[in-house]
Structure 1
Amino acid sequence: MTSLARALALSALVSATAVTAAPGDSTAWDIVSGLTTEIGPRLAGSEAEARARDWAKARLTALGFSNVAIEPFTIKGYVRGEDRARLLAPYQQPLAITALGYSGTTPAKGIEGELVYFASFDALKAAPAGSLTGKIAYIDHAMKANQDGSGYGPYGNARRQGPAIAAQKGAIGVVIRSIGTDNHRNPHTGATNWPDGVKPIPAGAISNPDADNVARIAAKGQPMRLSLTLTGTITDKLPSGNVIGDLPGSNPSLPPILVACHLDSWDLGTGAIDDGAGCAIVTAAALRARASGPLVRTIRVLWAGTEELGGFGGEAYAKAHATQPHALAMESDFGADRVWNVKMKLAPANKALGDRIAASLASMGIVRATGETDGGTDVGPIIRDQKLAVIDLGQDGTRYFDLHHTPDDTLDKIDPVQLEQNVEAWARVLTILGNEAGPISGE
């Protein structure tokens, strides 16, 4: 086929695979608005997360999904207590702080200690063994915004690994600059990790304006002292669970397409962008794809539990459905701003399928990108175990980490126009995938 003929063919396919929303289609907005308004914060293992599962089952059933089910599992969770911090010397300053998930617990009266300033995570790693004995470590590191959110990986190590490293060097507590890009006095929470044999110590994050203040004080070279109170507890055997629902295809022998989001959220905001929006996008898009005409393949929606505390929902789904073949997995968990690129992991035999998807998205200004696909925390385990095909629809993350894991994660931060653009992009992809009767493979 000549280049001109190929271009004309792809142009025709774009028109054929465009999906037109019904006038006034508000499915996505109704889902995220309902979830954040009627349930609100949904900390993993909490009573609110349990109410959210019941809400999700009722909503998916009402929307016409089949085989809707709650699949329970238990977790080691974190129950928040009182979070307070105050700089005592050389100046007295209250600090806006939040405990990290899985933080160790202080006595009710708190702890006090010398605050040892580290300009970066690498500086903490370089500190001599035993140098923090009886002290509180402080890790600074100013994350910068970018479109693809790639800074979250390296900067986030201060939260994920920093507290354990500080504990191993003798610290009695640790405070970090929030992993975020805003300048609001809102601290960003998130989970930290404790390797086997490391006893959890109190660990919290302060807001970026407070972190700037600590940095200015540290630059004066005077000793700092901190009072820290974090009374939350690590609690075992808390209830969690996944919610699944199917839009059956006409050929049940074909492995389904799995689309996922996570139902739990942190407890500071209402979980609108993280990840109520994702649940709204994948669900509304699946329905729109089916409305475009009969689909050959089943589309399964997974609203996963306990993503924020370690991806337990994704692992539970992979275990529960290990014997059921899947074709391809996708996830939405990066807010609700516009989709701007697409990455695919498809077998060479599926090149034409990938080209059709890329052509349809190109008419929306969504470019095909190279590089590794991520899949997402909630689909990662099933992708790993079954070596599935993957499609990532990359959203604009420029402002995502202004809001991520903060009290500002609320419904008003979602732009309905950009939310709709996400649904349309996802619906185009799912319409093409749902009508693919041939094998779909990742390798």
Structure 2
Amino acid sequence: MRNHILPALGALLLGVSSVAVTAAPAVAASPAAQSPDAVAQALAAKALASDLPMQIVTDLTTELGPRLAGTAAEKRAADWAKARLEKLGFENVRLEPFTMAGWLRGEEKAEITGPTPQPLVVTALGTSVATPPEGIEAEVVIFKRYADLLDAPAGSLKGKIALVAEQTVRVQDGSGYGAAGQIRRSGASEAAKRGAVAYMIRSLGTHDHRFPHTGSQTYQDGVTKIPAAALSPPDVEQIERLAAKGHTVKVKLKLTPSNPGTVTSQNVIAEVKGREKPDEIILIGAHLDSWDLGTGAIDDGAGVAIVTTAAKLIRDLPQRPKRTIRVVLFGAEEYGLLGAKAYAEAHKAEMDKHILATEADFGQGPVYAFNTRVADPKHPSIVRIQNALTPLGIYRGDNAASGGPDIGPMMQLGVPVVNLALEGSDYFDTHHTPDDTIDRIERKRINQTAAAYVTFTYLAAELDGDYRQKLVAEGQGTATGSN
């Protein structure tokens, strides 16, 4: 769905741009004479007019392309990001490597062999094992809902291919995808427990185009590993129509992924050092890796551009904010938040110095709500941040934020988090597909998001505030995301 924007979204953006740009004053040579709120307003205006978000996401997706975790392509992207961040004037720019199990996509082919031969559009799910060299040919058993697969008795799928045809619901905040995530992540092992020789799903997407969505899946210990793949929505519906006519549908599936063993990924880190409290950290993140079907523009080149732009605009102020701003471009997010877990472990000793954290990993925006997870959601500085965000069309949300996928491991260690909630009605049209390319990015949308992030980041770094609470002890849950 090229350039798909809801009418209300378009109206919001048009209104935001005209109000925020004309109302915001320039940053004075001596910002000490200005209130933090005025500085934040001027920064937002600069972000709305900036070329930098489009430059960064265009360069990343054009010069680097796909960035599959643990590959040479991801390492080239990390080196590129390090050089770019250094050129932009950030401090303490560095790579923090970690190891992971590698996985490489191979040949992918599927076809209906009965009742009438016809090709299918398929892709392997991340970490899937290979089929035998000749492929697997078997009868397909269709489950309208994932719950129906779970209700199937042991042995009922012996020698067959399980196909879950459940659709992903289009929701602004992405919760439809969150609800469907277990279909992809856990389904192969559940099918194997019931005797299946392969597992296929209707792609976890909200479009009706004939291309598939990839994504990671996890095998359960002690359960036979079977090949796992996603079919495009029209192909799943074709199989359903044949079955509805009373045919026994047979499919041949051939996947040849490989496992290169232990490989290396890395997080890329850069900072804007605080002038008064340099040991206190406001962390803004995105993830640098991407799946290999597209070029990772929506997921998550946009996020890389957003947080880099926000930090760069603050770095260029005549006077820096009190606290340090740390930009983290996480590696291997798509394989299960591996970079996030490595970061939380490596920086465990300074988690009490992480004042607030958030991530941009839900496309280009715009931002429509400000959600928190802090001890006092009515803290004066939180109120001031919300007041500064309101002219951008952003309303106050709840106090149940997750911070973003890569922020989850930090949140579990007690770090307070926020979400700048991104418009996601069209995010899963392109997420993890060949259509995740730069032509999906719209300047007005990504710039509004950059304006929201720079507003939040500057005020969080400049205003005093202690937001910590015992998040784990209070049992407030774990982060969910779009990996």
**TM-score after normalising by structure 2:** 0.86
For 1:340-398, what per-residue CA distance to the aligned partner results, in whole angstroms no more than 9, with x for missing partners? 1110112228611111111111111101112521112212112211x111110011101
For 1:141-160, what per-residue CA distance to the aligned partner results, in whole angstroms no more than 9, with x for missing partners? 11121211110112122111
**Equivalent in the alignment of 1:272:** 297
Amino acid in the other structure paired with 2:125 = L
Amino acid in the other structure paired with 2:140 = L
Q: 1:304 aligns with which of 316, 330, 345?
A: 330
Change in Cα spacing, 1:22 to 1:232, as seen in structure 2 (3 Å) is closer
**Equivalent in the alignment of 1:406:** 433
**Equivalent in the alignment of 2:228:** 203
**Equivalent in the alignment of 1:439:** 466
**Equivalent in the alignment of 2:361:** 333
- Structure 1 distance, partners of 2:177, 2:459, is 32
Deviation of 1:23 after TM superposition, in Å, equals 8.9
User: Which has the larger displacement, 419-428 or 287-296?
Assistant: 287-296
Contact 2:102 2:259 (8 Å CA) reproduced: yes
Q: 1:353 aligns with which of 381, 385, 398?
A: 381
Q: 1:322 aligns with which of 348, 358, 363?
A: 348
Contact 1:218 1:224 (8 Å CA) reproduced: yes
Q: 2:393 aligns with which of 365, 370, 378?
A: 365
SS of alignment partner, residue 243 of structure 2:
helix
**Equivalent in the alignment of 1:49:** 74
Deviation of 1:22 after TM superposition, in Å, equals 7.0
Contact 2:110 2:119 (8 Å CA) reproduced: yes
Deviation of 1:438 after TM superposition, in Å, equals 4.2
For 1:185-209, what per-residue CA distance to the aligned partner results, in whole angstroms no more than 9, with x for missing partners? 1100001111111232111001111
Change in Cα spacing, 1:411 to 1:148, as seen in structure 2 (3 Å) is same
**Equivalent in the alignment of 2:120:** 95
SS of alignment partner, residue 233 of structure 1:
coil
Q: CA RMSD in A?
A: 1.7
Change in Cα spacing, 1:101 to 1:349, as seen in structure 2 (3 Å) is closer
Contact 1:311 1:378 (8 Å CA) reproduced: yes
Contact 1:113 1:135 (8 Å CA) reproduced: yes
Alignment of 1:35-434 (within 5 A): 35-292=60-317, 293-324=319-350, 325-348=353-376, 351-370=379-398, 372-385=400-413, 387-434=414-461
- Structure 1 distance, partners of 2:248, 2:205, is 27
Amino acid in the other structure paired with 1:358 = Q
SS of alignment partner, residue 51 of structure 1:
helix
Contact 2:36 2:462 (8 Å CA) reproduced: no
**Equivalent in the alignment of 1:3:** none
Amino acid in the other structure paired with 1:380 = G
Deviation of 1:138 after TM superposition, in Å, equals 0.8
Deviation of 1:24 after TM superposition, in Å, equals 5.5
Alignment of 1:14-29 (within 5 A): 15=38, 17-18=40-41, 19=43, 20-21=45-46, 25-29=50-54
Deviation of 1:312 after TM superposition, in Å, equals 0.3
Amino acid in the other structure paired with 2:40 = T
Aligned length: 431
Deviation of 1:15 after TM superposition, in Å, equals 4.9
For 1:130-187, what per-residue CA distance to the aligned partner results, in whole angstroms no more than 9, with x for missing partners? 1111111111011121211110112122111111100111111011100001111110
Contact 1:14 1:363 (8 Å CA) reproduced: no
Q: Return 5+ residue gaps in structure 2 as ranges.
A: 1-34, 471-483
SS of alignment partner, residue 205 of structure 1:
strand
Deviation of 1:289 after TM superposition, in Å, equals 2.8
Change in Cα spacing, 1:249 to 1:16, as seen in structure 2 (3 Å) is closer
Change in Cα spacing, 1:96 to 1:373, as seen in structure 2 (3 Å) is same
SS of alignment partner, residue 114 of structure 1:
strand
SS of alignment partner, residue 433 of structure 1:
helix
- Structure 1 distance, partners of 2:367, 2:93, is 28
- Structure 1 distance, partners of 2:363, 2:217, is 22
Change in Cα spacing, 1:440 to 1:113, as seen in structure 2 (3 Å) is same
Change in Cα spacing, 1:22 to 1:278, as seen in structure 2 (3 Å) is closer
Contact 2:47 2:454 (8 Å CA) reproduced: no
Contact 1:13 1:360 (8 Å CA) reproduced: no
Contact 2:372 2:417 (8 Å CA) reproduced: yes
Amino acid in the other structure paired with 2:346 = A
SS of alignment partner, residue 151 of structure 1:
helix
Amino acid in the other structure paired with 1:306 = A
